[in-house]
């Protein structure tokens, strides 16, 4: 996701794909993420990634 050759759209697709992949209700997560404006989607993904960082997630 960090390559300069990858478009922002592809990065966002990959990040939202991660959220859907780890969701217990994948259909609901996909619908929720798709309904968000781009800026809010990025906020959600960034917050999730911060919380899911190794060694930092609550036990």
The verdict on residue 1 lying in a domain is no
Burial class (CB in 10 A: 0-12, 13-18, 19+), 48: middle
The verdict on residue 3 lying in a domain is no
Extract the tokens encoding 33.
């993420």
The verdict on residue 47 lying in a domain is yes
pLDDT recorded at residue 58 = 57
The verdict on residue 21 lying in a domain is yes
pLDDT recorded at residue 35 = 92
3-state helix vs strand vs coil in the chain, percent to 5: 65, 0, 35
Range of the domain at 45: 8-51
Q: Which residue stretches of the chain have pLDDT < 70?
A: 1-4, 55-59
The verdict on residue 25 lying in a domain is yes
The verdict on residue 46 lying in a domain is yes
pLDDT recorded at residue 28 = 94
pLDDT recorded at residue 19 = 84
The verdict on residue 36 lying in a domain is yes
Number of domains in the chain: 1
The verdict on residue 42 lying in a domain is yes
């Amino acid at each position: 996701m960090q390559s300069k050759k990858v478009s922002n759209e592809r990065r966002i697709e990959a990040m939202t794909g991660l959220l859907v992949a780890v969701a217990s209700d994948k259909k609901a997560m996909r619908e929720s993420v798709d309904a968000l404006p781009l800026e809010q989607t990025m906020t959600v993904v960034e917050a999730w990634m911060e919380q899911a960082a190794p060694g930092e997630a609550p036990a």
